[in-house]
A and B are shown apart, each in its own frame.
Chain A
Amino acid sequence: MKSELKVKAIEKGTVIDHIKAENLYKILSIIGIENLDTQIFIGNNLDSQKFGKKAIIKIADKFPSMDDVNKIALIDPNAVINIIRDYQVVEKTKVELPETINTFVKCINPKCITNHEKVETKFNVQVKDGKVNLKCYYCEKITGQNNIEVIR
């Protein structure tokens, strides 16, 4: 059986596919899954030809904002977002890292102005050796991929 079908199909909504299994929980957290009130189906450790074990998230009746896509790209640049209508994929987007990331990531530097005053964070996205580095527009310090913490 195809792995997609191991997780119940949805009539309309969003399917986030090709997530590396290890990234599933980070993605659930970064998109704020606990605040969604529609049906959600999650599969993890499904077989993947690309990278061994993958995860899939299906969210009924919701469509992602640009912000959501950016958040997912930060955690797993290989993820694919499918838009579903009438049980069919109508749009398939490979997530792409934006040049800048605004508002939702916390700067790792405790002495940064964004951690002292009500200032929205802003980062330039840099990729080095396959890792995402966020350079703070204000304090110029780097927040690395493993240190990304989402502001709620």
Chain B
Amino acid sequence: MKNKSLVSINDYTKEEYFKILDLAEEFQKNPNHKLLENHVIASLFFEPSTRTRLSFETAIQRLGGKVIGFSEAANTSVAKGESLKDTILTVSKYADLIVMRHPIEGSARYASTVSDKPIINAGDGSNQHPTQCLLDLYSIRKTQGTLENINLFLVGDLKHGRTVHSLLQAMSEFNPVFNFVSPPLLRMPQEYKDFLDEKGIKYYEHDELNESIKHADIIYVTRVQRERFSDPMEYEKVKNAYVLKNKMLEGTKDNLRILHPLPRVNEIDTDVDPNPKAYYFEQAENGVYARMALMCHILGIR
């Protein structure tokens, strides 16, 4: 079988993504299947990530597949000093597909060169997390009816957030307008702005959340982490400038939806939750369907 590992968002073509998104839509209508009944999926979490792991494992269970694996490296052969190569080689003899999360960057790409079974990268350090991007695309298409011509506000830590970087790259295929809202210290890196310039895509930078969100179709909020600031004073100064509150949503477009990769801390006030424009929990739910579709695609089942 062709190794169709998904390590980086650039590994698949636009057509493949559309195929996966269509399949995810089918699964949303009818989530329970026996398509993976004869499959064993390894879920190797070398670092804990409860949300991502539960989402994958739910996806596997809903498809009738069996899961093996671990949720942290502490009690495994990794703690005894086994190399990643040996772990992957061994598990690839047991399972039909390997989902892996690892703190070291490039580990998933390396695993995909070692393993004869496909790898799904569930996050490798600050590098890539393509299934998050997949479910973000699904959520945008689902709520807007299209991926084309979206006015997308990215809010929070735009410097370190791999989620926003992948989303920027993926959405660039669909003629978007970007608005970047972040503290000056956490601005979108120049390489991504160069990338947009090359593609002729418009973007605007803002230091705070202001009335410009009236034009937004999607507001994608990420966490501003205290540990990113060497000066705690700086954090205290900026932290409240990026909190989305319900009254700020007055006068925004009807089709606006608020997305967040979760976990949320305080960057979206809980008073937004009852607003029909809040979409982050549905977004998390969508992750299950997107991952179901991806696994079926990779295994050549659908």
Known A-B contacts: A112-B105, A117-B85, A139-B125. Give 11 more (CB < 8 A). Answer: A109-B105, A111-B103, A111-B104, A113-B107, A117-B83, A119-B85, A137-B109, A140-B127, A140-B128, A141-B105, A141-B127
| B84 interface residue per 8 A CB criterion | yes
CB < 8 Å: which of A111, A117, A118, A119 contacts B125? A111
Docked complex: B81-117 residues within 8 A CB-CB of A: 83-85, 103-107, 109-110
* Chain B residues within an 8 Å CB radius of A138: 105-107, 109-110
* Chain B residues within an 8 Å CB radius of A142: 191
> Closest A-chain residue to B114, C-beta based?
A119
Docked complex: A16-32 residues within 8 A CB-CB of B: none
| B8 interface residue per 8 A CB criterion | yes
| Cα(A111)–Cα(B160), bound, Å | 14
| Cα(A24)–Cα(B105), bound, Å | 34
* Chain A residues within an 8 Å CB radius of B84: 113, 117
* Chain A residues within an 8 Å CB radius of B126: 111
| A143 interface residue per 8 A CB criterion | no
Report the contact-size class of chain B (Cβ under 8 Å from the partner). Answer: 10 to 19
Docked complex: B1-46 residues within 8 A CB-CB of A: 8
| Cα(A26)–Cα(B125), bound, Å | 32
* Chain B residues within an 8 Å CB radius of A137: 106, 109
Between-chain CB contacts (< 8 Å), 9 pairs: A113-B84, A113-B110, A116-B104, A118-B83, A137-B109, A138-B105, A138-B107, A139-B127, A140-B105
Contact mask B190-206 → A, CB, 8 Å, 1/0? 01000000000000000
Most buried by A among B106, B107, B126: B106
Report the contact-size class of chain A (Cβ under 8 Å from the partner). Answer: 10 to 19
> Closest B-chain residue to A116, C-beta based?
B104
B41 to chain A, nearest CB (A): 23
| A114 interface residue per 8 A CB criterion | yes
A136 to chain B, nearest CB (A): 6
| Cα(A117)–Cα(B84), bound, Å | 8
- Interface residues, chain B, CB within 8 Å of chain A? 8, 83-85, 103-107, 109-110, 124-128, 191
CB < 8 Å: which of B83, B85, B106, B191 contacts A139? B106
For the A-B complex, the count of residue pairs with Cβ-Cβ distances under 8 Å equals 47
A8 to chain B, nearest CB (A): 47
A117 and B127 within 8 A (CB) = no
| Cα(A116)–Cα(B103), bound, Å | 11
| Cα(A138)–Cα(B105), bound, Å | 7
B159 to chain A, nearest CB (A): 14
A145 to chain B, nearest CB (A): 16
B73 to chain A, nearest CB (A): 13
A142 to chain B, nearest CB (A): 8
* Chain A residues within an 8 Å CB radius of B124: 139
> Closest B-chain residue to A119, C-beta based?
B110
A3 to chain B, nearest CB (A): 40
A113 and B104 within 8 A (CB) = yes
A112 and B8 within 8 A (CB) = no
| Cα(A119)–Cα(B110), bound, Å | 8
Docked complex: A114-152 residues within 8 A CB-CB of B: 114, 116-119, 136-142
| Cα(A141)–Cα(B104), bound, Å | 13
> Closest A-chain residue to B105, C-beta based?
A139
| Cα(A117)–Cα(B127), bound, Å | 17
* Chain B residues within an 8 Å CB radius of A109: 105
* Chain A residues within an 8 Å CB radius of B109: 113, 137-139
A111 and B105 within 8 A (CB) = yes
* Chain A residues within an 8 Å CB radius of B103: 111
* Chain B residues within an 8 Å CB radius of A119: 85, 110
| Cα(A119)–Cα(B114), bound, Å | 11
| Cα(A125)–Cα(B89), bound, Å | 30
| Cα(A139)–Cα(B109), bound, Å | 8
* Chain B residues within an 8 Å CB radius of A141: 105, 127
A112 and B128 within 8 A (CB) = no
Most buried by B among A117, A137, A141: A117
* Chain A residues within an 8 Å CB radius of B85: 117, 119
A140 and B8 within 8 A (CB) = yes
> Closest B-chain residue to A110, C-beta based?
B105
